[in-house]
Copies of this chain bind each other. A is one copy, B any other.
Amino acid sequence: FERRQEGLLVPTIVVPLADNEPDSEIWGKNFPREFNSFQMTKDVGLRTKYGGAVQFSRLDRDSNIRHLFAGYPFSVEYNQARGHFWSLEDVEKTARIDTARGGKASFGTCFTCKTSNLPGLMASIGPDKFFDTPFEKMKESVKYPIGCANCHDPKTMALRLTNPAIRKSLSDSGKDPDRLPRQEMRSLVCAQCHCEYYFQASDHYLTLPWKYGTSPDNMEKYYDEIAFTDWTHKDSKTPMIKMQHPDYEIFVTGIHAYRGLACADCHMPYVSEGGVKYTNHHVQSPLTDIAHTCAVCHRQSEQEIRARVEIIQDTIWEKEVRSSQIIAQAHAEVAQALASGVDEEALKGVRQLIRKAQLRWDYIAAGNSMGFHSPLNAASILSDSIDLAQEARVQLARLKKAD
């Protein structure tokens, strides 16, 4: 009657798991609660003010984005992320790598963050081959979306890092990827994929630009040092950098990280079902389950907590759209200058400013949580991007005057 036995349950491994077992369903035999909650990432019902599992096109939400990515597949299709269940289908179906729909053919590297086959493939065919094989070819040996193998050691269920890119970055900075404190691992397992990356030109290796640090300035220093450019802007011919979801890099500068929280504290909270406690693997926007995520530390009403998050997000959204608007103007004004015969050499400085401005805008726009992970830092970076884009327009206006 006092549900005493509930407190004493220890997880037992019944069905033995092969090394790097890709099929999460087999893992689920041993851990039904984690597996069932994991399957719920299939649910695409809930939408919050700026996030949630509903897939909508980001190109429609802010029309400037199409101009900012002119000449790059992100201007063709770019959606808000959904649950992990859809990771494989979404990468295989996106127009971005479908030459028929204006995309650019890609390589096995895209699969690094989309499938639980990854650890197995890394062991079997090795990174060289995996990263170099064309995407369409690698498709054949990839069967499952993100799964237990991405984050867990089948023997001990301990968290482990299976993504080679983050393992390399960590060891480069003197850390042993297999011997990190548990609370750090509860963030790093997410950082495997929720990070800024680029494909090395030569061998398409997935690499993280973390050499000098994870702030926009430090990433820019690295990209400039290796003279890296993702694409040349169609209209302004500016050498551009594409930022992808630097969620971890932004999060570590926020108050929650400063006070010792990990991604899992809000995105994979403890829940008790029928008295048994386990980690909820339904990874989603925490605003859909405030009672389990925030109320544990913030004893205010759900309405009060949600309202405060939306005040933060509204402020960041307003700056994000204003920044993309100015950058779009800058690209257009350079294009006009080119049409009216301004010489290339003179535009070099203006283009540098546009490259810097868009890198910073994208760092926040591609980042998730609409600034909540680190509100002051997000506002400060967007303020820099507005400053740089306007500086470009001032110098351009002067240029036209001078000639």
- Residues of A whose CB lies within 8 Å of any CB of B are 255, 258-259, 300, 308, 312, 315, 318-319, 322, 326, 375-377, 379-380, 382-383, 386-387, 390-391, 393-394, 397-398, 400-401
> Can you name 10 A-B residue pairings with CB atoms under 8 Å?
A255-B308, A258-B308, A319-B383, A386-B386, A390-B391, A394-B394, A394-B397, A397-B397, A400-B401, A401-B401
* CB-based closest 3 A-B pairs: A390-B390, A383-B383, A397-B397
Complex CA gap A300/B259 in Å reads 9
Give the copy number.
2
Give the docked Cα–Cα distance between A397 and B379 (Å).
Answer: 28
Chain B residues with CB under 8 A of A383? 319, 379, 382-383, 386
Q: What is the CB-to-nearest-CB distance from A62 to chain B, in angstroms, rounded to a whole number?
A: 17
CA distance A394 to B376 in the complex (A): 27
How far apart sit A315 and B318, CA to CA, in the bound complex (Å)?
20
Looking at the assembled complex, report how far the CB atom of A169 sits from the nearest CB atom of chain B, in whole angstroms: 24
Chain B nearest CB from A88 CB (Å) reads 37
Contact indicator A401/B390 (Cβ below 8 Å): no
Which one of B376, B377, B397 contacts A398 once the chains associate, using CB atoms below 8 Å? B397
Residues B308 and A380 in contact, CB atoms below 8 Å apart: no
CA distance A394 to B383 in the complex (A): 17
B380 pairs with A319, CB closer than 8 A: yes
Query: Do B379 and A390 touch across chains, with their CB atoms under 8 A apart?
Result: no
- B322 and A387 contact, CB distance less than 8 A: yes
Q: Which residues of B contact A322 (CB under 8 A)?
A: 387
**Cβ-defined contact, A315 with B380, below 8 A:** yes
| Bound-state Cα–Cα, A259 to B387, Å | 33
CA A386 to CA B315, docked complex, whole Å: 16
A401-B394 contact given A319-B383, A322-B387, A375-B375, CB 8 Å threshold: no
Q: Which residues of B contact A400 (CB under 8 A)?
A: 401
Residue from B312, B376, B387 within 8 A of A312 (CB atoms): B376
**CB-CB nearest in chain B for A382:** B383
From the candidates B258, B326, B376, B393, name the one contacting A376 in the complex (CB within 8 A). B376
Residue of B nearest to A260 (CB): B300
A322 — nearest CB in chain B belongs to which residue?
B387
Interchain CB contact under 8 A, B259 and A376: no
CB of B401 within 8 A of CB of A397, answer yes
Chain B residues near A308: list those with CB within 8 A: 255, 258
Task: Give the complex CA separation of A40 and B326 in angstroms.
Answer: 51
Which residues of the other chain, B, contact A255 by a CB distance below 8 angstroms? 308
Check if B300 sits within 8 Å of A377, measured CB to CB.
no
How far, in whole Å, are A373 and B397 apart by their CA atoms in the complex?
Answer: 38
Residue in B closest to A298 when the chains form the complex, CB atoms: B259
Known: A258-B308, A393-B394. 19 other contacts (CB 8 A): A259-B300, A315-B376, A315-B377, A315-B380, A326-B387, A375-B375, A379-B383, A383-B383, A383-B386, A386-B386, A386-B387, A387-B387, A387-B390, A390-B391, A390-B394, A397-B397, A397-B398, A397-B401, A401-B401
Of chain B, the residue at the smallest CB distance from A393 is B394
The distance in angstroms between the C-alpha atoms of A60 and B189, with both chains bound, is: 49
Please, how many angstroms separate the alpha-carbon atoms of A326 and B315 in the complex?
A: 23
Q: From residue A355, how far is it (CB to closest CB) to chain B in Å? A: 18
Residue from A308, A322, A394 with most neighbouring chain B CB atoms (10 Å): A394
Q: Report the bound CA distance from A168 to B71 in whole Å.
A: 59
Residues of B within 8 A of A387 (CB): 322, 326, 386-387, 390
Shortest CB-to-CB span from A188 to chain B, Å, is 22
Q: Which partner residue on chain B sits nearest A390 by CB separation? A: B390
